[in-house]
Amino acid sequence: MRAKQLESDPHYSVGIIGVGNMGGAMAANLLERGWPVAVCDLEADKVNALLALGAKAFANGAAMGLRSDAVIVCVVDAAQTADVLFGANGVASTLAAGKTVLLCPTIAPDDVQRFAARLTALGIHTLDAPMSGGPVRAREGSMSLMLAGPGAVLAAHGKLIADLSNKVFRISERVGDGARTKLVNNLLAGINLVGAAEALAMAQAMGLDLATTLNVIEQSSGQSWIGSDRMQRALVGDYAPRAHVTLLEKDTRLGVQAAQAAGFEGPLGARASAVFAQAHAAGLAQEDDASLFKLLRRKP
């Protein structure tokens, strides 16, 4: 399908590979807005929840690629991305030339560029499209979406992009710059979360009321969105995973590596990354990353 055809057909077929917290929320949002959405995931319950909203299910990416004009990849890491694109029954094996893959995982810029080069060789367009904001914002269409790629491809998918997010940032035409921007953001998110958990653990050690302390922070200079969001959950002992510890563990590690590749070394990034690794080692890997509070309030 050519760009002009896409522009004249605002609800062409969209496939989403990986319908966990973010991918599932994106799918539900698009379905509500009238898009034909196909989904694929290893976890049947996640797929079934979207079938009830009108999605179509496919067993693998290859089957999905035969019937999709744009495919959103929303898996966890580079290994999973490589598998769903180019592995056995990968979507790239059937997606027609001229169609588009949107890469949403937080992965290294070099991996984004490597995947894009392989897709380009097949005649498939790539949009580097990492996202941020959590499942609630993804469901509302208000998450941040960082886009890098050719202007003509962005324009061809303007309606899809607008329905996915009302906070779209067009970074550049260089694939990989979306990933770089996301890693800058997520490294800061990790630093802020470690700082918030440390501050509340400190308040507890000083005998302060934690709810009152957090209320002060949220209305004062120490406020951060991720700190407020996670510590509100921590204060009521809610560690059900919305964002596993392993996600910011991965993202902060990749952020530090990207900084090193650029010849930059800051004072906080590596230290924050080490705290997420420590939480993983302490058995908190599959809990919500609010559990950093549990880690830091423990007495040595």
Residues that are catalytic: 182
- In the block, tokens 């990207």 appear at 258
Strand partners, 131: 145
d(CA 40, CA 51): 11
Q: Are 288 and 240 in contact (CB under 8 A)?
A: yes
The helix/strand/coil state of 126 is strand
d(CA 23, CA 114): 23
Q: Are 67 and 46 in contact (CB under 8 A)?
A: no
d(CA 156, CA 100): 10
- In the block, tokens 């910011």 appear at 248
Burial 188-199 (b: 16+ CB within 10 A, else e): bbbbbbbbbbbb
DSSP H helices in the chain = 3-8, 21-32, 44-51, 61-65, 78-86, 109-121, 135-140, 151-156, 158-164, 177-205, 210-218, 225-235, 245-261, 269-279, 292-297
Strand partners, 244: 288
Sign of CA dihedral 109, 20, 29, 136: negative
d(CA 44, CA 49): 9
